[in-house]
Structure 1
Amino acid sequence: MKTILQEVIENHKREEETKNNQIAKDTQKENSRRDFFRKAALGGIGLGAMMGASMEDTLAHTTSKVNRFSAPTDLKITDMRVAVIKNVGRTPIIRIDTNQGIYGLGDVRDGGDERYALMLKSRILGENPCNVEKLFKIIRQFGHHGRQAGGVCAVEMALWDLCGKAYGVPAWQLLGGRYRDTVRLYADTPGFDDPKEFAAVMKERTEVQGFTWLKMDLGIHLVADQKDALNNSKFWNGAKGQYDTRDYMSYGSTLHPFTHVQINEKGLEGLAEYVDNVRNAVGYEIPLSADHFGHFDINNSIRFGKAMDKYRLAWLEDMVPWMYTDQWRTVSDALETPTCTGEDIYLLKGFKDLIDKRAVDVIHPDLGTSGGLLETKKIGDYAEEQGVAMAMHMAGSPICFMANVHCAAATQNFLSLEHHSVDTPWWEKLVTMTGSQPMITKGFANVPLDAPGLGVDLNEEVIREHLHPDAPGYFEPTPEWDEKRSWDRLWS
């Protein structure tokens, strides 16, 4: 064994000598190999010597793929810029630049405001991006539930991307390693009024696109025009969908228990027929989740859920607002179908009550809201200890998607990750993969094994084609966000 190891070391020495000769021709500013190893070790690559090999040879072998043009301990954040694309309405992409020319990419959650991220620029300028947890604690207070966490999470994503690039390793490695090489996806599919048409689309998802987990929109919008299907829906102009948020007293902005919309037996029969057609098309082997039911109260949630029990849905999602933990527990105890919530919850602290009280069967964080890669892994790990599974919600750009892939790879109790843009032909083209594998293969995301950071880079041409009209700039300078003007401490 030692002979083989010695041959590896000798071969590596020869390869290193060839590389160093080439590097010397390209630049006179590169750190020496000894100096790099010293800085890398001080920056956190603490490794034991390999079976009698010197520490220098050990480091040379085990860090052979580390970016020689990066001295991680000397990295400093120098800028943050934004480009907003037309993805699920609008999705801001941030780029954090450094003094060494490498940069990190992040994604403000779909439907969020780029200013949630830009206001954090002054808090992180001059800092070392590899100190991810330290920087997260500095900016954490500026996030909140829903889209308001988008800025904090975008920065956290970009920091892990930068840290991985600096040390030459994938983000999942920085989270403690991976459990899987591929990540199972569920395909989110908007509903059709014609159940047969919808069933055909769902069948294509499995037979052509290769998905092994599906999700559908299922709710009162499907039966709203049927006579006597609902009570009190006419009072709410726009009650067909949850996205009527024109004002704070609109249907979509009113918490579920306060609309008093009720489902009648005819409505339940119509929804049951709809699900029956879908199940007949895709069968029972495929897990089938459901979402977007409408804003009705806990009693109607139970009536609806019981009508769906026979179809063995994988979960019923967001039936009541996530903060009503006791109501969730009541719904979950009343149904055989698993319950699921979490896409709007910020930080592990927000999930603990749901998990501790076994109020839902599946937690469903959105990494663009929940706190980023490390915080979402902490959420998953905590849920695992309590016997609760984790699926992951995602409707962002491919950058956020890949951040989710790394987190899912590093979390054991993971079930499935949402792919929200299956039908958007240019979505994958927004980025290029920096490793050897494609982003997705037949319903599974490939975990980057040979690419640092998040494993993607921007496709500038495609990004420019899909810039949002209200923010047409492509990573323009943002000096107006450089200055910090407030005292951020939360205690005296």
Structure 2
Amino acid sequence: MSRIARVEPHLLSYPFPEPLHLDYYGGHRIIYKRDAMLIRVVTDTGEVGFAPGQGSESAQKLIRETIGPWLEGKAFADPDALRIRFLDGPGRDPHTAKIYSTVEVALYDLAAKAAGVPISELLGGRVRDKIRLYGSAGMYMSPEGYADEAAEVVKLGFKAYKMRPGIGPEADLRAIQLIRDRLGPGIDLMVDAHTWWRMGDKSYSPETVKRLAQSMSEQNLCWLEEPMSPHKHELYRALHAEDIIPLASGEHETTEEGFLDLIHGPCVDFVQADIVCQGGYAWGRRLFAALQEAELRFAFHSWGSYLEIIAAAQLGICWPEHVVEWLEYPLYRKPGQNIMYPFPLAEEILKEPLQIVDGELIVPRSPGLGVEINEGVIEKYPWKPGPWSTFTLHSPAGTWAVYNDHSVQWVEDGGSS
């Protein structure tokens, strides 16, 4: 039986040639770079398992100083057995357990390769070979700019588009109307409104949110995502009870109890979560079971590399579409495109592009994650310390730096708008 020889958390960065400046309602945002982590778990017989990780120095330190040393030397056969032992030791700390769950993807990759099966077969067995994708982009531009980008996303073959409004209530509504006019009725449209509660004194009040939800409902949205502070479940319960528009939330939840409250509130129609920042495979299987019982649906949050996408997909296809319906596909700009911004590292981390047919990801059946990793990105995209983005508010005046943990709330709610 092989043993784990070492665990390597490689931090990676793609610094933009020039910082990206974006104005929004009540503030200004600058994006300097995008970060990622590639985790390698190596056995004493030379096998390697890979996983995506949180692109932060704190996560890397935890893996290097706690998780890696605990795993090294352990006999490797069953990832579940190792997890149980870890949770009874260092994993008693919830944050440490969360970071361990990302490393565990590499352990599943190793175990599945050894068995000659895809990871999905170790997670209960796949019930399908594909999962629906939505093209995710759309950040702080004119209403016409959103409509132009949406049309370009559809030309790429995607059947769903998600945008991020934040240019003022009336302009946000205008943007969504223009998008629907441009796309027609056959394309799903998601609106990620997390900026609405991050504008300081110009944050949208619950009354403003309700008014916008009523108007946006006429545009046949698939969902309205995080229109209010995600920590205020009572506001979501109230809006959900109005049955105005499908609601989505979850990517900022920090505990399993929080997710269960979203489900049983009921607070939302779609629950969202990220396997890299919020929990791994074991956590996902528990969450999906609760969703199935409550007859709600799940949508993966995925805002990093395409290795994250395939890691999530291996879990998602073990559940039917009426439980796990969507997988977020961040659309980074390529030459000749006018979509969001470039992040070539995201795709180059894989040797071959993912297979997408009619807006759905075809999940490979080859062993492990089912993809070949391009380890050359480790040297090509060395780590650059510092925040990847900053937000400057007009009122209250202040600047907040954002690192890779997307679940951190970087400014208190305003709500005077």
TM-score by length of 1: 0.65
Are positions 1:132 and 2:34 aligned together?
Answer: no
Residue aligning to 2:389? none
Alignment CA distance shift 1:466-1:364 (3 Å): same
Taking only the aligned residue pairs, the percentage that are identical comes to 26
Deviates more, 1:438-447 or 1:399-408: 438-447
**Residue 367 of structure 2 aligns with which residue?**
452
- Paired residue type of 2:165: L
What amino acid sits opposite 1:354 in the alignment?
Answer: L
The correspondence of residues 58-457 of structure 1 with structure 2, limited to 5 A, is 74-86=1-13, 89-110=34-55, 113-118=59-64, 119-137=66-84, 138-139=86-87, 140-144=91-95, 151-207=99-155, 209-219=156-166, 222-223=167-168, 268-291=169-192, 292-295=194-197, 296=203, 297-346=205-254, 348-412=256-320, 413-423=323-333, 424-432=343-351, 438-449=354-365, 451-457=366-372
1:25-78 per-residue CA deviation (whole Å, 9 max, x = no partner) reads xxxxxxxxxxxxxxxxxxxxxxxxxxxxxxxxxxxxxxxxxxxxxxxxx13211
Residue 192 of structure 1: how far off its partner (Å) = 4.6
CA–CA distance in 1 between the matches of 2:255 and 2:280?
Answer: 9
Deviation at 1:215, TM superposition (A): 0.4
Asked if the contact 2:129–2:317 (Cα under 8 Å) also holds between the matched residues in 1, the reply is yes
Once residues 211 and 56 of structure 2 are traced to their aligned partners in structure 1, the CA distance between those partners, rounded to angstroms, is: 32
- Report deviation, 1:98: 1.0
Q: SS of the counterpart of 1:458?
A: coil
Larger Rg: 1
Distance 1:298 1:84 in 2: 39
Amino acid across the alignment from 1:293: T
Letter in 1 for 2:196: G
Greater shift after overlay, 124-133 or 385-394?
Answer: 124-133
Separation in structure 2 between the aligned mates of residue 441 and residue 111 of structure 1, nearest angstrom: 33
The change in CA–CA distance for 1:440 and 1:349 in structure 2 (over 3 A counts) is same
381 and 110 in structure 1: CA distance in 2 versus 1, 3 angstrom threshold: farther
Using a 3 Å threshold, how does the CA distance of structure 1 residues 135 and 371 change in structure 2: closer, same or farther? farther
Pick closer, same or farther for the CA change 1:129–1:309 going to 2, 3 Å: farther
Question: In structure 1, how many angstroms separate the alpha carbons of the residues matched to 2:76 and 2:315?
Answer: 19
Question: Partners in 2 of 1:350 and 1:152 — Cα distance?
Answer: 20
Q: Could you tell me how far apart the structure 2 residues matched to 1:287 and 1:379 are?
A: 25
* Structure with the higher helix share, 1 or 2: 1
Secondary structure of the structure 1 residue equivalent to 2:159: coil
For 2:385 and 2:112, the matched residues in 1 are separated by 33
Contact kept, 8 Å, 2:11 with 2:55, in 1: the verdict is no
Change over 3 Å in CA distance of 1:324–1:269 after alignment to 2 = closer
Partner in structure 2 of residue 39 of structure 1:
none
Contact 1:108 1:117 (C-alpha < 8 Å) held by counterparts = no
Do the aligned partners of 1:347 and 1:371 also contact (CA within 8 Å) in 2? no
Indicate the residue corresponding to 2:384 in structure 1.
469
Which amino acid counterpart does residue 109 of structure 1 have in structure 2?
Q
CA 1:345–1:387 in structure 2 vs 1: closer, same or farther (change >3 Å)? same
- Summarize deviations over 1:130-164 as a string: whole Å, max 9, x none: 332233342443444xxx87622321211111111
SS at match of 1:183: strand
Whole-angstrom distance in 1 between the partners of 2:273 and 2:131: 16
Going from structure 1 to structure 2, the CA distance change for 1:94 and 1:355 (only over 3 Å counts) comes to: same
Query: Over residues 172-213 of structure 1, what are the superposed CA-to-partner deviations in whole Å (9 max), with x where a residue is unaligned?
Result: 011111122112111111235222232121111112x11111
Give, in angstroms, the shift of residue 92 of structure 1: 1.7
- The 2-side partners of 1:129 and 1:327 are apart by 46
CA distance in 1, matches of 2:174, 2:266: 31
Please, which moves more after superposition, 83-92 or 412-421? 83-92
Tell me, in whole angstroms, the C-alpha distance in 2 between the residues paired with 1:345 and 1:317. 13
Return 5+ residue gaps in structure 2 as ranges. Answer: 15-32, 198-202, 334-342, 387-417
Unaligned runs of 5+ in 1: 1-73, 224-267, 472-492
Aligned residues of 2:146 and 2:175 also touching (Cα < 8 A): no
Instruction: Supply the AA of the counterpart residue of 1:107.
Output: P
Deviation per residue, 1:207-229 (Å, 9 max, x gap): 2x11111100012xx13xxxxxx
- Residue by residue over 1:100-132, the C-alpha shift from the partner in whole angstroms, topping out at 9 and shown as x without a partner, is 211211222355732233231122222234332
Query: Does structure 2 retain, via aligned residues, the 8 Å contact 1:346–1:369?
Result: no
Cα distance, 1:394 vs structure 2: 0.4
Deviates more, 1:91-100 or 1:187-196: 187-196
Contact map agreement 2:147 2:175 (CA 8 A) in 1: no
Alpha-carbon offset, residue 271 of structure 1 = 2.1
